[in-house]
A and B are shown apart, each in its own frame.
Chain A
Amino acid sequence: MREEAAAADPDDAALAAAWAEGRDARAFARLVGRHEGLLRRAAFVALGAAARRDPLLVDDAVQEACVRLVGALARFRGDSAVATFMAAVARRAALDELRKAARRGAKAARAARFAGDAAASGDGVPPGSGGDPAPAFERREASERVAALLARLPEPERSLVYLRDAEGASLDDLARAFGLREGTVKSKLARARAKLRGQALAEWGDA
Protein backbone atom coordinates (compact mmCIF):
# COMPACT_ATOMS: atom_id res chain seq x y z
CA MET A 1 0.00 0.00 0.00
CA ARG A 2 2.70 2.43 0.95
CA GLU A 3 4.68 1.63 -2.18
CA GLU A 4 1.62 2.07 -4.36
CA ALA A 5 0.76 5.38 -2.79
CA ALA A 6 4.21 6.76 -3.37
CA ALA A 7 4.74 5.32 -6.84
CA ALA A 8 2.04 6.94 -8.98
CA ASP A 9 0.71 10.46 -8.58
CA PRO A 10 -1.62 9.99 -5.67
CA ASP A 11 -3.98 12.67 -4.52
CA ASP A 12 -3.58 14.56 -1.27
CA ALA A 13 -5.90 12.29 0.68
CA ALA A 14 -3.95 9.19 -0.36
CA LEU A 15 -0.65 10.78 0.62
CA ALA A 16 -2.03 11.92 3.95
CA ALA A 17 -3.36 8.44 4.62
CA ALA A 18 -0.04 6.86 3.67
CA TRP A 19 1.66 9.06 6.22
CA ALA A 20 -0.99 8.71 8.91
CA GLU A 21 -1.36 4.95 8.62
CA GLY A 22 2.03 3.80 7.42
CA ARG A 23 4.38 6.64 8.37
CA ASP A 24 5.47 6.77 4.75
CA ALA A 25 8.06 9.53 4.84
CA ARG A 26 8.09 9.84 1.07
CA ALA A 27 4.34 10.47 1.05
CA PHE A 28 4.76 13.13 3.70
CA ALA A 29 7.57 14.74 1.76
CA ARG A 30 5.58 14.71 -1.45
CA LEU A 31 2.56 16.24 0.23
CA VAL A 32 4.51 19.05 1.82
CA GLY A 33 6.45 19.66 -1.37
CA ARG A 34 3.23 19.83 -3.37
CA HIS A 35 1.76 22.48 -1.08
CA GLU A 36 4.88 24.41 -0.26
CA GLY A 37 3.56 27.50 -2.02
CA LEU A 38 0.23 27.31 -0.22
CA LEU A 39 1.99 27.02 3.13
CA ARG A 40 4.04 30.12 2.37
CA ARG A 41 1.03 32.10 1.21
CA ALA A 42 -1.12 31.06 4.16
CA ALA A 43 1.68 32.01 6.55
CA PHE A 44 2.25 35.29 4.75
CA VAL A 45 -1.42 36.24 4.98
CA ALA A 46 -1.68 35.29 8.65
CA LEU A 47 1.40 37.32 9.50
CA GLY A 48 -0.22 40.41 8.02
CA ALA A 49 1.88 43.56 7.99
CA ALA A 50 4.66 41.80 9.91
CA ALA A 51 5.41 39.61 6.89
CA ARG A 52 6.14 42.67 4.81
CA ARG A 53 8.28 44.26 7.47
CA ASP A 54 10.18 41.05 8.10
CA PRO A 55 10.04 38.46 5.28
CA LEU A 56 12.13 36.02 7.31
CA LEU A 57 9.12 35.49 9.54
CA VAL A 58 7.48 33.67 6.64
CA ASP A 59 10.41 31.25 6.43
CA ASP A 60 10.28 30.65 10.15
CA ALA A 61 6.55 30.06 10.07
CA VAL A 62 6.79 27.61 7.16
CA GLN A 63 9.53 25.66 8.84
CA GLU A 64 7.54 25.54 12.05
CA ALA A 65 4.47 24.47 10.08
CA CYS A 66 6.45 21.60 8.52
CA VAL A 67 7.47 20.37 11.92
CA ARG A 68 3.90 20.55 13.15
CA LEU A 69 2.48 18.91 10.05
CA VAL A 70 4.27 15.68 10.75
CA GLY A 71 2.25 15.25 13.90
CA ALA A 72 -0.88 16.98 12.65
CA LEU A 73 -1.16 14.97 9.43
CA ALA A 74 -0.64 11.78 11.37
CA ARG A 75 -3.77 12.67 13.33
CA PHE A 76 -5.68 13.97 10.32
CA ARG A 77 -8.97 12.10 9.87
CA GLY A 78 -9.81 13.25 6.39
CA ASP A 79 -12.84 15.27 7.35
CA SER A 80 -11.78 18.24 5.23
CA ALA A 81 -9.56 18.91 2.24
CA VAL A 82 -5.93 18.17 3.11
CA ALA A 83 -4.74 21.40 1.54
CA THR A 84 -7.08 23.51 3.66
CA PHE A 85 -6.03 21.63 6.76
CA MET A 86 -2.37 22.25 5.93
CA ALA A 87 -3.04 25.93 5.31
CA ALA A 88 -4.73 26.17 8.69
CA VAL A 89 -1.69 24.60 10.35
CA ALA A 90 0.57 27.10 8.57
CA ARG A 91 -1.67 29.92 9.72
CA ARG A 92 -1.48 28.83 13.35
CA ALA A 93 2.26 28.40 13.11
CA ALA A 94 2.55 31.89 11.67
CA LEU A 95 0.43 33.43 14.43
CA ASP A 96 2.57 31.68 17.03
CA GLU A 97 5.75 32.90 15.34
CA LEU A 98 4.32 36.38 15.50
CA ARG A 99 3.68 36.09 19.22
CA LYS A 100 7.13 34.62 19.80
CA ALA A 101 8.79 37.39 17.83
CA ALA A 102 6.92 40.00 19.82
CA ARG A 103 7.92 38.36 23.09
CA ARG A 104 11.55 38.10 22.16
CA GLY A 105 11.64 41.64 20.93
CA ALA A 106 13.75 40.32 18.09
CA LYS A 107 12.69 42.95 15.62
CA ALA A 108 16.02 44.74 15.54
CA ALA A 109 18.03 41.54 15.21
CA ARG A 110 15.88 40.32 12.37
CA ALA A 111 16.04 43.63 10.57
CA ALA A 112 19.80 43.44 10.79
CA ARG A 113 19.78 39.90 9.41
CA PHE A 114 17.56 40.90 6.54
CA ALA A 115 19.66 43.94 5.76
CA GLY A 116 22.69 41.68 5.69
CA ASP A 117 21.00 39.25 3.30
CA ALA A 118 19.94 42.06 1.00
CA ALA A 119 23.44 43.54 0.99
CA ALA A 120 24.94 40.14 0.25
CA SER A 121 22.56 39.53 -2.66
CA GLY A 122 23.16 42.89 -4.31
CA ASP A 123 20.50 45.51 -4.86
CA GLY A 124 17.53 43.58 -3.58
CA VAL A 125 16.15 42.67 -6.99
CA PRO A 126 15.14 38.99 -6.93
CA PRO A 127 17.82 36.76 -8.47
CA GLY A 128 17.13 35.64 -11.97
CA SER A 129 14.74 38.45 -12.71
CA GLY A 130 17.28 40.01 -15.11
CA GLY A 131 16.55 42.66 -17.71
CA ASP A 132 14.59 45.78 -17.01
CA PRO A 133 13.79 45.92 -13.30
CA ALA A 134 10.94 48.41 -13.78
CA PRO A 135 8.10 45.95 -14.51
CA ALA A 136 9.15 43.79 -11.57
CA PHE A 137 9.24 46.86 -9.39
CA GLU A 138 5.79 47.96 -10.51
CA ARG A 139 4.42 44.48 -9.99
CA ARG A 140 5.88 44.39 -6.54
CA GLU A 141 4.52 47.84 -5.72
CA ALA A 142 1.03 46.82 -6.83
CA SER A 143 1.31 43.65 -4.81
CA GLU A 144 2.40 45.66 -1.78
CA ARG A 145 -0.68 47.84 -2.07
CA VAL A 146 -3.05 44.89 -2.28
CA ALA A 147 -1.27 43.07 0.53
CA ALA A 148 -1.44 46.20 2.66
CA LEU A 149 -5.22 46.27 2.29
CA LEU A 150 -5.43 42.62 3.18
CA ALA A 151 -3.17 43.10 6.18
CA ARG A 152 -5.59 45.62 7.66
CA LEU A 153 -8.22 42.95 8.13
CA PRO A 154 -8.21 41.21 11.49
CA GLU A 155 -7.68 37.48 11.86
CA PRO A 156 -9.37 35.16 11.10
CA GLU A 157 -11.17 37.26 8.47
CA ARG A 158 -7.90 37.87 6.66
CA SER A 159 -7.03 34.19 6.30
CA LEU A 160 -10.60 33.18 5.61
CA VAL A 161 -11.11 35.55 2.72
CA TYR A 162 -7.72 34.67 1.29
CA LEU A 163 -8.15 30.91 1.51
CA ARG A 164 -11.72 31.07 0.18
CA ASP A 165 -11.34 33.53 -2.68
CA ALA A 166 -7.70 33.14 -3.66
CA GLU A 167 -7.10 29.46 -2.91
CA GLY A 168 -10.62 28.16 -3.46
CA ALA A 169 -11.11 26.45 -0.12
CA SER A 170 -14.69 25.27 0.46
CA LEU A 171 -16.87 26.76 3.16
CA ASP A 172 -17.26 23.54 5.11
CA ASP A 173 -13.52 22.85 4.97
CA LEU A 174 -12.81 26.33 6.28
CA ALA A 175 -15.39 25.89 9.03
CA ARG A 176 -13.74 22.66 10.16
CA ALA A 177 -10.20 23.91 9.85
CA PHE A 178 -10.91 27.11 11.74
CA GLY A 179 -13.28 25.59 14.28
CA LEU A 180 -16.12 27.88 13.26
CA ARG A 181 -19.71 27.33 12.20
CA GLU A 182 -20.33 27.60 8.51
CA GLY A 183 -22.68 30.53 9.06
CA THR A 184 -19.96 32.33 10.96
CA VAL A 185 -17.52 31.73 8.13
CA LYS A 186 -20.02 33.19 5.68
CA SER A 187 -20.62 36.30 7.72
CA LYS A 188 -16.91 36.84 8.28
CA LEU A 189 -16.29 36.44 4.56
CA ALA A 190 -18.97 38.95 3.70
CA ARG A 191 -17.56 41.40 6.23
CA ALA A 192 -14.01 40.93 4.99
CA ARG A 193 -14.96 41.49 1.37
CA ALA A 194 -16.95 44.59 2.22
CA LYS A 195 -14.00 45.99 4.16
CA LEU A 196 -11.58 45.24 1.35
CA ARG A 197 -13.82 46.90 -1.20
CA GLY A 198 -14.36 49.89 1.05
CA GLN A 199 -10.67 50.33 1.65
CA ALA A 200 -9.85 49.90 -2.02
CA LEU A 201 -12.42 52.50 -3.00
CA ALA A 202 -11.18 54.90 -0.35
CA GLU A 203 -7.59 54.57 -1.50
CA TRP A 204 -7.88 54.10 -5.21
CA GLY A 205 -11.37 55.24 -6.03
CA ASP A 206 -10.16 58.54 -7.43
CA ALA A 207 -7.23 57.06 -9.30
Chain B
Amino acid sequence: MGGRMKRTRIALGDGRDAALGAALRAAVGNLAGEGTPRALGAGALELAADATRRREVRIRRMPGTRALAAAALAVVTAGALGVPALSARRRALDAGFEAALSILPEASTWVAEVFTAEFRPEGAVDEFVAGLWSPDSGL
Protein backbone atom coordinates (compact mmCIF):
# COMPACT_ATOMS: atom_id res chain seq x y z
CA MET B 1 0.00 0.00 0.00
CA GLY B 2 2.71 2.40 1.08
CA GLY B 3 4.78 1.47 -1.97
CA ARG B 4 2.12 2.32 -4.51
CA MET B 5 2.71 5.50 -6.40
CA LYS B 6 0.09 8.15 -6.20
CA ARG B 7 -1.55 9.15 -9.45
CA THR B 8 -0.34 12.59 -10.39
CA ARG B 9 -3.04 15.15 -10.93
CA ILE B 10 -1.05 16.82 -13.67
CA ALA B 11 -1.09 13.65 -15.72
CA LEU B 12 -4.87 13.75 -15.62
CA GLY B 13 -4.95 17.33 -16.78
CA ASP B 14 -6.66 18.73 -13.71
CA GLY B 15 -3.62 20.30 -12.14
CA ARG B 16 -1.57 23.13 -13.47
CA ASP B 17 1.82 22.57 -15.02
CA ALA B 18 3.55 25.65 -13.69
CA ALA B 19 6.89 24.98 -15.35
CA LEU B 20 5.33 24.54 -18.76
CA GLY B 21 3.15 27.55 -18.10
CA ALA B 22 6.12 29.75 -17.23
CA ALA B 23 7.86 28.80 -20.46
CA LEU B 24 4.75 29.43 -22.53
CA ARG B 25 4.00 32.69 -20.76
CA ALA B 26 7.51 34.01 -21.33
CA ALA B 27 7.55 33.01 -24.99
CA VAL B 28 4.11 34.32 -25.83
CA GLY B 29 4.57 37.50 -23.82
CA ASN B 30 7.80 38.16 -25.64
CA LEU B 31 6.28 37.66 -29.07
CA ALA B 32 2.78 39.04 -28.62
CA GLY B 33 4.02 42.60 -28.60
CA GLU B 34 3.20 43.61 -25.06
CA GLY B 35 3.83 47.27 -24.56
CA THR B 36 4.18 48.10 -28.20
CA PRO B 37 2.95 51.51 -29.31
CA ARG B 38 0.05 49.85 -31.06
CA ALA B 39 -1.17 48.22 -27.87
CA LEU B 40 -4.27 49.49 -26.15
CA GLY B 41 -3.23 51.56 -23.17
CA ALA B 42 -5.33 51.90 -20.07
CA GLY B 43 -4.73 55.62 -20.07
CA ALA B 44 -5.89 55.96 -23.62
CA LEU B 45 -8.94 53.88 -22.88
CA GLU B 46 -9.81 56.01 -19.90
CA LEU B 47 -9.43 59.10 -22.02
CA ALA B 48 -11.79 57.57 -24.49
CA ALA B 49 -14.26 57.00 -21.70
CA ASP B 50 -13.84 60.60 -20.62
CA ALA B 51 -14.42 61.72 -24.14
CA THR B 52 -17.61 59.74 -24.42
CA ARG B 53 -18.85 61.30 -21.22
CA ARG B 54 -17.90 64.79 -22.35
CA ARG B 55 -19.98 64.23 -25.42
CA GLU B 56 -22.78 62.90 -23.28
CA VAL B 57 -23.16 59.62 -24.98
CA ARG B 58 -26.31 57.94 -23.81
CA ILE B 59 -25.97 54.28 -24.42
CA ARG B 60 -29.47 52.96 -24.32
CA ARG B 61 -30.48 49.39 -23.90
CA MET B 62 -31.42 49.06 -27.52
CA PRO B 63 -28.85 46.53 -28.73
CA GLY B 64 -28.06 48.26 -31.99
CA THR B 65 -27.31 51.59 -30.43
CA ARG B 66 -25.24 50.06 -27.68
CA ALA B 67 -23.18 48.08 -30.13
CA LEU B 68 -22.72 51.02 -32.38
CA ALA B 69 -21.55 53.22 -29.55
CA ALA B 70 -19.25 50.40 -28.52
CA ALA B 71 -17.74 50.14 -31.95
CA ALA B 72 -17.21 53.88 -32.06
CA LEU B 73 -15.66 53.87 -28.60
CA ALA B 74 -13.24 51.15 -29.58
CA VAL B 75 -12.22 52.87 -32.77
CA VAL B 76 -11.87 56.25 -31.11
CA THR B 77 -9.77 54.61 -28.44
CA ALA B 78 -7.61 52.96 -31.02
CA GLY B 79 -6.86 56.39 -32.38
CA ALA B 80 -5.33 57.47 -29.09
CA LEU B 81 -2.88 54.61 -28.76
CA GLY B 82 0.70 54.97 -27.77
CA VAL B 83 0.69 58.70 -27.22
CA PRO B 84 2.53 59.49 -23.97
CA ALA B 85 1.74 63.13 -23.18
CA LEU B 86 -1.71 63.98 -21.90
CA SER B 87 -2.25 66.94 -24.20
CA ALA B 88 -1.00 64.93 -27.15
CA ARG B 89 -3.31 62.10 -26.19
CA ARG B 90 -6.22 64.48 -26.18
CA ARG B 91 -5.31 65.61 -29.66
CA ALA B 92 -4.85 61.99 -30.71
CA LEU B 93 -8.25 61.20 -29.32
CA ASP B 94 -9.79 63.88 -31.46
CA ALA B 95 -7.80 62.56 -34.38
CA GLY B 96 -9.03 59.09 -33.53
CA PHE B 97 -12.57 60.30 -33.73
CA GLU B 98 -11.84 61.69 -37.14
CA ALA B 99 -10.27 58.34 -38.06
CA ALA B 100 -13.40 56.58 -36.92
CA LEU B 101 -15.27 58.54 -39.52
CA SER B 102 -13.23 56.93 -42.24
CA ILE B 103 -12.58 53.47 -40.76
CA LEU B 104 -16.06 52.22 -40.05
CA PRO B 105 -18.44 51.46 -42.90
CA GLU B 106 -20.90 54.22 -43.62
CA ALA B 107 -19.04 56.22 -41.01
CA SER B 108 -19.38 59.56 -42.67
CA THR B 109 -23.03 59.74 -41.82
CA TRP B 110 -23.41 57.88 -38.59
CA VAL B 111 -20.35 57.71 -36.38
CA ALA B 112 -20.73 61.32 -35.34
CA GLU B 113 -24.37 60.73 -34.64
CA VAL B 114 -23.46 58.07 -32.11
CA PHE B 115 -22.38 60.90 -29.88
CA THR B 116 -25.81 62.41 -29.82
CA ALA B 117 -28.67 61.25 -27.70
CA GLU B 118 -31.22 60.50 -30.37
CA PHE B 119 -29.56 58.07 -32.69
CA ARG B 120 -31.19 55.01 -34.15
CA PRO B 121 -29.33 52.89 -36.69
CA GLU B 122 -31.19 52.24 -39.89
CA GLY B 123 -30.67 50.46 -43.18
CA ALA B 124 -27.10 49.51 -43.97
CA VAL B 125 -25.88 50.82 -40.62
CA ASP B 126 -28.34 48.65 -38.77
CA GLU B 127 -27.25 45.66 -40.81
CA PHE B 128 -23.64 46.38 -40.02
CA VAL B 129 -24.42 46.56 -36.32
CA ALA B 130 -26.50 43.41 -36.44
CA GLY B 131 -23.63 41.65 -38.17
CA LEU B 132 -21.21 42.73 -35.48
CA TRP B 133 -23.27 41.20 -32.73
CA SER B 134 -25.05 38.35 -34.42
CA PRO B 135 -24.70 34.82 -33.06
CA ASP B 136 -22.46 34.09 -36.05
CA SER B 137 -19.98 36.65 -34.83
CA GLY B 138 -18.60 34.08 -32.45
CA LEU B 139 -19.96 35.42 -29.18
**A33: nearest residue on chain B (CB-CB)?**
B42
Q: Name the prevailing secondary structure of the A interface residues.
A: helix
Interface size class of A (residues with CB under 8 A): 35 or more
Interface size class of B (residues with CB under 8 A): 35 or more
- Beta-carbon contacts of A122-153 to B below 8 Å, as 1s and 0s? 00001100000000000110111111001000
Query: Which of the listed residues B10, B14, B52, B70 has the most CB atoms from chain A within 10 Å of its own CB?
Result: B70
Tell me whether A193 is interfacial, beta carbon within 8 Å.
Answer: yes
Q: How far is the CB of B86 from chain A (nearest CB, A)?
A: 15
Tell me whether A68 is interfacial, beta carbon within 8 Å.
Answer: yes
- Chain B residues closer than 8 Å to A178, beta-carbon distance: none
In the complex, are the beta carbons of B40 and A165 less than 8 A apart?
A: no
- Chain B residues closer than 8 Å to A82, beta-carbon distance: none
Tell me whether B1 is interfacial, beta carbon within 8 Å.
Answer: no
In the complex, are the beta carbons of B13 and A167 less than 8 A apart?
A: no
Tell me whether B124 is interfacial, beta carbon within 8 Å.
Answer: no
- Chain A residues closer than 8 Å to B85, beta-carbon distance: none
Q: Name the prevailing secondary structure of the B interface residues.
A: helix
- Beta-carbon contacts of B15-29 to A below 8 Å, as 1s and 0s? 011101111111111
- Chain B residues closer than 8 Å to A83, beta-carbon distance: none
In the complex, are the beta carbons of A166 and B14 less than 8 A apart?
A: no
Interface residues of B (CB under 8 A from A): 10-14, 16-18, 20-34, 36-46, 48-50, 52-53, 57, 59, 63, 66-67, 69-71, 73-75, 77-78, 132-133, 137-139
| Interchain residue pairs with CB less than 8 A apart (29) | A26-B50, A29-B45, A29-B48, A30-B45, A32-B45, A36-B40, A37-B32, A41-B29, A41-B34, A58-B32, A63-B74, A66-B78, A67-B71, A67-B75, A92-B139, A139-B30, A140-B30, A150-B24, A150-B27, A150-B28, A161-B24, A162-B24, A167-B21, A167-B25, A189-B13, A189-B14, A191-B13, A193-B10, A193-B20
Beyond A63-B40, A71-B133, 20 additional pairs, beta carbon < 8 A: A25-B53, A32-B42, A32-B45, A33-B41, A33-B44, A36-B42, A39-B40, A40-B34, A41-B28, A68-B139, A70-B70, A70-B71, A71-B132, A140-B31, A142-B27, A143-B26, A143-B27, A146-B23, A147-B28, A189-B14
